[in-house]
Amino acid sequence: MKKQFRFLTVLLTLSLLPLLTGKPVYAQVGADRVAVTGLVTDPSGAAVPNATITLLNQDTGVKTVVATDGAGNFTTPAMILGNYTLDVTKEGFKAYSHPDMSLIIGGRTYTENVTLLLGAVTQTVEVNESAQLINTQSTEVSYQVGKQYYQDLPDIMGADVRLAETKLVLSPGYVPTAPNGDAIFRGDAFQSRINGGQTVSWESWFDGAEYGYAEGHQQTHESSIPYSAVQEMTTTVNNFSAQYGHTSGGIVLYTTKSGTNQFHGNLYDILTSNKLDANNFFLNESGVNRLPLTQNNAGFTFGGPIPKLHLWGKTFFFTNYDRFDYHSTVNTGFQNTLPTPLERSGNFSQLLSPPTLPAGCASAPCQIATDALGRPIYYGEIFNPASTRTVNGVPVRDGYGFDPITGLPLANANIIPGTDPLLTMNTGAQYVASIVPTLDRNTLFTPNEFGGTSDDNDKINVWTWLFRIDHTFNDKWSAKLHLL
């Protein structure tokens, strides 16, 4: 009993400030809440004052009751997302009922105008089909991704991280992160753009509270919203409300699930392992059959009512535990090399002096074999295809800048002459070389193969708890508590 009292005291404290005003004050609708406004009239179009408006949350049974003012207008306080039934009653008129209203897009104020027909209150006019509710209170340009997309669409996995923002690709104007070679960033929104804005500049909100920009790595798994806890995601790209605006690109609003009248939950374990993969054809030459990868994303969700706390109002909870254990290395498909400025002109002399010499070599250039003529073959040597001939059934070529008799390097070793047909006649290669981007790092000796070791495979090992409590004191006051 003492624990129940302390819990209710905390929730009561959250609502003291508006209570001190002496009358209900309907605050601005938060990103994770909705409200309904409208005008109630009679058949002649005259306003109907003091009509009772009741919105019943069909998932939780929580009722929100307001009344029309002297002009027939009504506005509800902020309510959690869900499916609602709207009932309107007034003495001398038939009751009006609109069930299955889907109020599932947060940060909105919807409009439902009602015309009451003359008759007894015991008679009911039920609206089963109507035009889609519209938001008439804001000019925001936004796009929503509901929980159905998170449940039905495939998750990004397989050397990719299971993140809530992977569904941002469904929003018009979103440009995702370019591949950067590190698999833990593939599928995330770290370097992405929204609506033509700058990278790492758009803002993220979680259940109505701002929690960072993409530059702070809060979009990686260490601090992202758990995927299975997402009720909806809204991307706002233009005409921001006054409560936003700290961005040069857009606002991403995440709304988490809440508990309902029934207990619901699920268990999940999404496993990716190289032990279940087929051999990689391109890795076999280096003695590695598969890219080392272990990715295990396990957890559970559970939510429902808290009956013993229903001493005053109704209380619901929702929780999501998410554990992510990821071990891998840079994906081989992104470990590419680009030509250096010297190589663009046909000068490959740098290849003869690698930073790490092959085993058995004391200095560069390093001889690694001999050809059919008994000439030395050097590590990094470039051969002239026009000099190809067969010696004792074995193809032989001369190295560029190497003595054709002895095979020893000359002053111009590994440099293709500017007059060589390989450079002057291959216009396709010249064009490709002209559009290859310049280097932003030294990739000269980065091999196009697996280069990691077991010592640097440990990438991510994190767990996340999300806990949400929604408590309704009465039809006007409610509070919520989040822990993440």
> Based on the domain organization, do 409 and 282 belong to the same domain?
no
> Based on the domain organization, do 321 and 358 belong to the same domain?
no
pLDDT number for residue 414: 95
pLDDT digits (tens, 9 = 90+) for 107-128: 678 888 999 998 876 777 777 6
> Based on the domain organization, do 208 and 222 belong to the same domain?
yes
Question: Which backbone phi and psi does 43 adopt, to 5 degrees?
Answer: -60, -25
pLDDT number for residue 68: 93
> Based on the domain organization, do 89 and 106 belong to the same domain?
yes
Distance CA 472, CA 94 (A): 29
pLDDT digits (tens, 9 = 90+) for 285-332: 555 667 677 788 889 999 998 876 655 678 889 999 988 887 765 544
Domain span including residue 132: 31-138
Domains: count for the chain:
3
Give SS3 for 240. coil
pLDDT number for residue 8: 43
pLDDT number for residue 401: 95
Average pLDDT over residues 95-110: 83
Ranking 150-154, 261-265, 377-381, 442-446 by mean pLDDT, the lowest is 442-446
> Based on the domain organization, do 60 and 146 belong to the same domain?
no
H runs (alpha helix) in 135-237 = 147-152
Tokens of 137: 């209170």
Contact between 301 and 319 (Cβ < 8 Å): yes
Answer yes or no: is 450 within a domain: no
Answer yes or no: is 441 within a domain: no
Tokens of 72: 């027939």
Angle ∠(319,322,325) on CA atoms, nearest 5: 170
Distance CA 37, CA 110 (A): 6
- Distances from the Cα of 31 to the Cα of 28, 116, 140, 270, angstroms: 9, 32, 12, 30
Residue 416: pLDDT band (50, 70, 90) is very high
Query: Position 298: which residue type?
Result: A
β-bridge partners, 392:
none
pLDDT digits (tens, 9 = 90+) for 45-84: 899 999 999 999 988 888 889 999 989 999 988 888 888 9
Percent of the chain residues past pLDDT 70, beyond the cut: 68
> Based on the domain organization, do 374 and 287 belong to the same domain?
no
- Distances from the Cα of 363 to the Cα of 44, 113, 355, 356, angstroms: 100, 86, 11, 10
Average pLDDT, the chain: 76
Give pTM, 2 decimals.
0.58
pLDDT number for residue 55: 92
pLDDT digits (tens, 9 = 90+) for 256-291: 888 888 899 999 988 878 788 777 766 655 556 676
Answer yes or no: is 183 within a domain: yes
> Based on the domain organization, do 186 and 120 belong to the same domain?
no
